[in-house]
Amino acid sequence: MSIKDGEFEFKLSTPLGFSFQGAKEETLMVTLFEPSMEHIKFYLKLKQLLTISQMDLAKASGMFDTIREGGQEVKPFQDDTENIELGVDETFQAFKASLEASVSVEMADFIGTFTKMILIPSRKPLARVDGKVPMTSTLWNNLSPDDAYNMAVRWCSFFAMPSQEGMKTTLDQQSDSHMERKEA
Amino acid sequence: MAGNITLSVPAIIVNNETWAIVPNSFTYDGGEGEVNVRSASGGGNNANSVHSQNAETMIGKCKFDIFLVPGVDNKLATWKENVGANRVQAIQTQPITGETTTLSWDNMSLVNAVERNASADGVTSVEFEGDRMSIQ
């Protein structure tokens, strides 16, 4: 279960009760999945919000001045899948810091967009509680606020990296056709 | 002092989804079952009562009406397929204290033939039967 499979597990801090096959269960695990075209409206907005918040952070830290003075090395394209997974914790912390410090991005806007996206009726749900039950508004409302927020940021650090091609879809069909075009 | 609030406007949750129901349409049976009471004659004027629980009637039931909005047909089909595998909850919150009473019925089947009434004031009745009610 990794970014290559288009899914990963998120651990809650508070147990979440849910109904499965007619009985009550509790779990600390939510499986999150990559977005599809059904989610594009919200997915792109999240990406934009994260980019804006990171720009804010860069401005505040004076990073732009450094780049203007010395420039930066242009790195060749490579399959960054493993690096993305290793760096997810760092990205998660960086996203949290930039969102919380941003003067342009409302956190309510961020979590509101994520909530709408995760709850839209979809053939391919973005979240399954305990890997079984699609996330519903009832279950979402039973989450602790911190779990909901962390889940949103963690999902973004896997699937909505502002400047990385981290999604599964870029690694199979699309990358194949790209290679063919290059060879021709 | 606030009075007790009756279970008149519960939130109805079926399989993790909250459903807006027709007001005052929710009725339920906890599945406590019937007790048969008979009389055993002791001769003369003597008679003792004999009590027996009838386990045949220990079935949890709940029924309510919903409006025929888009998505209801798909949902009814899902509930119907989940034979013995639906879970229904009714949650009533006390407005001032915020305390909740949750009634749950596990392993439920949608038992009635669901007749949809597609009219301006039409409603669709659903009846679930299964395990006895639990209270939290």
pLDDT tens-place string over residues B52-97: 999 999 999 999 999 998 889 999 999 999 999 999 999 988 878 8
- Whether the per-residue pLDDT at A10 is higher than 80: the answer is yes
Q: What percent of chain A has pLDDT over 90?
A: 51
What pLDDT score does B95 carry?
A: 79
pLDDT tens-place string over residues A135-153: 999 999 999 999 999 999 9
Among candidate residues A92, A133, A118, A129, the one with its CA nearest the CA of residue A36: A118
Which chain B residues contact residue A23 at CB under 8 A? 87, 106-107
- Whether the per-residue pLDDT at A182 is higher than 60: the answer is no
pLDDT tens-place string over residues A100-134: 988 889 999 999 999 999 999 888 899 999 999 99
Token representation of residue A97: 């810091």
If one counts the domains in chain B, the total is 1
Long-range CB contact pairs, A104-109, < 8 A, 24+: A104/A52, A104/A53, A104/A55, A104/A56, A105/A49, A105/A52, A105/A53, A105/A56, A107/A149, A109/A49
Tell me, yes or no, whether B48 lies in a domain: no
Tell me, yes or no, whether B121 lies in a domain: yes
Cα torsion through A93, A119, B90, B118, rounded to 10: 170
Domain that holds residue B27: 11-31+59-135
* Whether the Cβ atoms of residue B107 and residue A23 lie closer than 8 Å to each other: yes
Tell me, yes or no, whether B96 lies in a domain: yes
Distance CA A99, CA A53 (A): 5
Distance from CA of B92 to the nearest CA of A (A): 14
Residue contact A22–B107, C-beta within 8 A: yes
- Whether the per-residue pLDDT at A184 is higher than 60: the answer is no
Tell me, yes or no, whether B74 lies in a domain: yes
Residue contact B106–A139, C-beta within 8 A: no
The larger pLDDT score, comparing residue A122 to residue B23, is at B23
Tell me, yes or no, whether A58 lies in a domain: yes
Residue of B nearest to A121 (CA): B71
B78 touches chain A (CB under 8 A): no
B82 touches chain A (CB under 8 A): yes
The larger pLDDT score, comparing residue A142 to residue A1, is at A142
Residue contact B86–A138, C-beta within 8 A: no
Distance CA B76, CA B106 (A): 17
Of A19-23, A60-64, A70-74, B37-41, the least confident = A70-74
Tell me, yes or no, whether B37 lies in a domain: no
Residue contact A22–B85, C-beta within 8 A: yes
What pLDDT score does A17 carry?
A: 94
Residues A43-48 have a mean pLDDT of: 94
What pLDDT score does A41 carry?
A: 94
Tell me, yes or no, whether B54 lies in a domain: no
Residue contact A21–B85, C-beta within 8 A: yes
Which chain A residues contact residue B130 at CB under 8 A? 22
Residues A28-34 have a mean pLDDT of: 95
What pLDDT score does B136 carry?
A: 85
Confidence band for A81, pLDDT divided at 50, 70 and 90: low
Tell me, yes or no, whether A182 lies in a domain: no
Residues B87-116 have a mean pLDDT of: 91
Distance from CA of A30 to the nearest CA of B (A): 15
What pLDDT score does A77 carry?
A: 47
Tell me, yes or no, whether A179 lies in a domain: no
Choose the closest CB to A22 out of B17, B18, B87.
B87
What pLDDT score does A181 carry?
A: 46
* Number of Cβ within a 10 Å radius of residue A150: 18
If one counts the domains in chain A, the total is 1
The larger pLDDT score, comparing residue B51 to residue A58, is at B51
Tell me, yes or no, whether A144 lies in a domain: yes
Tell me, yes or no, whether A59 lies in a domain: yes
Distance from CA of A17 to the nearest CA of B (A): 9
Tell me, yes or no, whether A181 lies in a domain: no
Tell me, yes or no, whether B46 lies in a domain: no
Tell me the three-class secondary structure of chain A, residue by residue.
CCHHHCEEEEEEEEEEEEEECCEEEEEEEEEEECCCHHHHHHHHHHHHHHHHHHHHHHHHHCHHHHHHHHCCCCCCCCCCHHHHHHCHHHHHHHHHHHHHHCCCCCHHHHHHHHHHHHHCCCCCCCEEECCCEECCHHHHHCCCHHHHHHHHHHHHHHHCCCCCCCCHHHCCHHHHHHHHHHHC
The count of CB pairs under 8 A between chains A and B is 36
Tell me, yes or no, whether A180 lies in a domain: no
pLDDT tens-place string over residues A164-174: 444 444 444 44
Of A68-77, B17-26, B77-86, the least confident = A68-77
Which chain B residues contact residue A137 at CB under 8 A? 17-18
- Whether the per-residue pLDDT at A155 is higher than 90: the answer is yes
Beta bridge mates, B102 = B91
Residue of A nearest to B134 (CA): A24
What pLDDT score does A48 carry?
A: 93
What pLDDT score does A174 carry?
A: 44
Domain that holds residue A126: 3-174
Tell me, yes or no, whether B53 lies in a domain: no
